[in-house]
Structure 1
């Protein structure tokens, strides 16, 4: 067998091995996802000991994320895992619980059995937040895709935070996401206590 044919066989074998490895990685991911969903039922995240968790909610891209300890200073743009406000503190959350818009689980650190959200930090103490029907404005700059949706898919009026301009108070943050026009964030339920933040989150594999 000449050298050229040997090299082609080696290349074909390497390509086959690479494809097999990719299939094995995909299978492992699917097994983890299935296990996580089976473990959680309808819950949105499953965190293993290494800090890797899966997000199956629509609040951020579906996939695997890594949790990290919160830093001493929270800054805009950070992606965080957080507990939503309690229904006692937020009329919007009360409505969302009543209408089953939020995922629940018996295995959650959050009040009202709500599953934690992934959100981006929009504003921190001292910054100005304006809530308008056209969206969220931070220090005068609009955040993309934050228009308030006044009516839900079922035709019900959606409770949103009172329109106006606010200064973020110490011990609070405002959060947002622009995953879809139905994203559910501080434009509806307002600021949240810093104590509701659980961890920083960074994507590992999303789709």
Structure 2
């Protein structure tokens, strides 16, 4: 014999469990928000993007091979509009980028169809792509050889061939670097 299906309002037991679930979800959300704020104040960044290994990165007091920056225009607007950057603390309301530094003042960077080369050494995974994962066209920085000027750096991910970096927007001013980073824990 089959039991009839209850279609009426929640019984008291179900209401209590729903209230407890809401309270637990609120507590977890508050805890995560607090954790992000505390980590940020300690100089710890969480990377979940494919440009670097997923993990925690900490601010370094000296210049390092990794930097966090808000990209320059027009790259910033394009990256935000296309969803390459989530919500964050840059002036445009989007997240900063974290990238390895591949070229420093005095270096010579070459941009070609095979990728970036620094001082005649090819940087892996830096060939400019024709389009992004959604099929939208990508315009690379003009092919050529560039001396890295004082006060500028070139950034590029060797970890991910689809990274949005200097192969598309060229050198960045060191003045827009918000932090020098080093890996704390990566996965």
TM superposition shift of 1:189: 0.9
Aligned to 1:48, the other structure's residue is in SS state helix
Return the alpha-carbon distance in structure 1 between the equivalents of residues 163 and 83 of structure 2: 15
Aligned to 1:102, the other structure's residue is in SS state coil
Matching residue of 2:52 = 60
Return the alpha-carbon distance in structure 2 between the equivalents of residues 39 and 115 of structure 1: 14
- CA change 1:97–1:53 in 2 (3 A) is closer
Aligned to 2:32, the other structure's residue is in SS state helix
Return the alpha-carbon distance in structure 2 between the equivalents of residues 60 and 174 of structure 1: 16
Return the alpha-carbon distance in structure 2 between the equivalents of residues 183 and 67 of structure 1: 22
Matching residue of 1:23 = none
Matching residue of 1:120 = 100
**1:1-207 mapped onto 2 (5 Å cutoff):** 35-36=32-33, 47-69=39-61, 71=62, 74=63, 78-87=65-74, 92-105=75-88, 108=89, 110-207=90-187
Task: Give 1 or 2 for the bigger CA radius of gyration.
Answer: 2
Return the alpha-carbon distance in structure 2 between the equivalents of residues 48 and 93 of structure 1: 22
For residues 33-88 of structure 1, what are the alpha-carbon distances to aligned partners after superposition, in whole Å with 9 as ceiling and x for unaligned?
Answer: x8159969xxxxx843322221122221111111123x3xx47xx1122221132x
Return the alpha-carbon distance in structure 2 between the equivalents of residues 124 and 193 of structure 1: 11
Q: Could you tell me the TM-score, scaled by structure 1's length?
A: 0.68
